[in-house]
Structure 1
Amino acid sequence: MTDSDTTPQRRRPYTGSCHCGFVKYIIYLTVPPSPPPPSSRRDPNNNGRLRQHVYRCNCTTCHKLGLLHIRLPSPPDDFLLLSPLDPLRELGDYQCFQKKLHFLFCRTCGARCFTFAGEGEVVEREVPLSTDDARDGEKKTVWCPKQGWVEDGTRYLSVNGYTVDAGQEGLDWRVWTENKWVMYMDWLSGEDAHPVGEDRRRYDRPFPGGAY
Structure 2
Amino acid sequence: MSGLKAYPGSCHCGAVQYQVKLKFPPVHDPSAASIHIYKCNCTTCHKMGYFHLRPINPAEDYILTSPTSVDELGDYRCFAEKHGWYFCKKCGVRFLGLGGSWEQVELDIEQWAGTKNEGEEEKLQKVWKTKGEPKIVEKQGKKVTKPYYLSVNAVTLEPSEDIDLRKWHEKGWILYVETRREDGTPTGTTPHEGGMY
Unaligned runs of 5+ in 1: 1-8, 44-49, 130-135
Q: Which amino acid aligns with 2:74?
A: G
Identity of aligned residues (%): 38
Distance 1:63 1:174 in 2: 19
Distance 2:191 2:177 in 1: 7
Aligned to 1:109: 91
SS of 1:55's equivalent in the other structure is: strand
Aligned to 1:86: 69
Please point out which of 50, 54, 58 is paired with 1:71.
54
Aligned to 2:28: 38
Matches within 5 A, 1:116-195: 116-128=98-110, 137=116, 138-146=123-131, 149-152=132-135, 155-166=148-159, 168-188=160-180, 190-191=181-182
Higher strand share: 2
Unaligned runs of 5+ in 2: 117-122, 136-145
TM-score, normalising length: structure 1 = 0.76
- Structure 2 vs 1, CA of residues 82 and 176 (structure 1 numbering), >3 Å: closer, same or farther? same
Aligned to 1:47: none
Distance 1:93 1:154 in 2: 21
Shift of 1:139: 3.0
Please say if residues 181 and 203 of structure 1, whose CA atoms lie closer than 8 Å, have aligned partners that are also in contact: no
TM-score, normalising length: structure 2 = 0.81
Q: Which amino acid aligns with 1:38?
A: H
SS of 1:128's equivalent in the other structure is: helix
Q: Deviations over 1:157-183 (max 9, x none)?
A: 1111010012x2211010011110111
Shift of 1:200: 2.0
SS of 2:45's equivalent in the other structure is: helix
Distance 1:183 1:125 in 2: 34
Q: Number of aligned pairs?
A: 177
Matches within 5 A, 1:8-19: 10-19=3-12
Shift of 1:60: 1.7
Instruction: Please say if 1:59 is aligned against 2:42.
Output: yes
